[in-house]
Structure 1
């Protein structure tokens, strides 16, 4: 059963997370490397509680990160989309992907679709991406999207000690930057 919007790109389907997505999500949080910039490795039980945040955000806020699904085979690749928990430093478009999806352009494709959706549906005037200063891959993705480093931000608990820079752009900047993805 589908709940909420479904976005389609050339290779991807973005939709609200479903229970069947959890196995691969748990693999991401179970990996030291994949989870190091998103709160760190978590055991399966903690990963389940964290997984429930996004469907809950959709119900409560009317938005959250989408599950990113490979159209050809139905494989869960990761999450991308709007995210703004209480105390967050701005209107975020975030992402996290399974290691076997890294380096294939999926994150760029999904994040561009999510930014389009957020600007069209949420009334946001700008977007940010909270990125650890050591996370070169996410910084490169932010640059591909046309975002720039806006400087350090403080995240709310329990992440208040995690270093983070806000990368971002305005709606008007996105309208110009989006042309490179057309």
Structure 2
């Protein structure tokens, strides 16, 4: 896969019906600390990090690299989308593909924001790196994440044990460009 480092960054902010996806700013730091310290948000990601440690370590402008989007609702950060090349992945099926990750504040759960933001980020990726398949890994016990993966069009490639839990690896095939003979057009 072509690396996101080759893509012009940051892109113009991405607007959806309710959300804005943009590069992080200094004003997002407190929400990054809250997100990374949240026991609920990190229940399937190895647990929360201590708030005091995060206060010391999170930079003034956190998570600022190609593929890292802040998800904003009504002027405030509610989550983060990560698109990156699947590196260091223990699963051969993921190598060379884009990897989708997301993390949202618990107060933003249940409103469809993650689906809306992830779909917009995946559309952006298809526009800048067409033909790239995307993978997503989550614990099978994470019912919300499993539902989101299905809603976004990910299908199971394999299940495996890691971090003392069953993991699910799904893949979303590359988007077919609009007007392509194999389909395309508005969904």
TM-score normalized by structure 2?
0.75
Structure with a larger share of its residues in helix: 1
Q: Deviations over 1:108-150 (max 9, x none)?
A: 0000000011111134520011111111100100111111121
SS of the residue corresponding to residue 40 of structure 1 reads coil
Q: 1:166 maps to what in 2? A: 169
8 A Cα contact 2:86 2:98, kept in partner: no
Structure with a larger share of its residues in strand: 2
Q: 2:101 maps to what in 1? A: 94
SS of the residue corresponding to residue 4 of structure 1 reads coil
Unpaired stretches in structure 1, ≥5 consecutive residues? 155-159
Alignment size in residue pairs: 165
Q: 1:103 maps to what in 2? A: 110
Which of 125, 129, 138 is the equivalent residue of 1:131?
138
1:31 aligns with 2:38: yes
Q: Deviations over 1:53-109 (max 9, x none)?
A: 731xx2xxxx22200001xx3111101131236313341121110011000010000
Larger Rg over CA atoms? 2
Question: Which segment is superposed worse, 171-180 or 140-149?
Answer: 171-180
Deviating above 6 A after TM superposition, structure 1's stretches of 4 or more consecutive aligned residues are: 50-53, 173-178
Alpha-carbon RMSD across the aligned residues, in angstroms, is 2.8
TM-score normalized by structure 1?
0.77
Describe the shift of the 1:148–1:102 C-alpha distance in structure 2 as closer, same or farther (beyond 3 A).
same
Post-superposition shift, 1:47?
3.4
Q: 1:80 maps to what in 2? A: 81
1:142 aligns with 2:145: no
Question: Which segment is superposed worse, 124-133 or 8-17?
Answer: 124-133
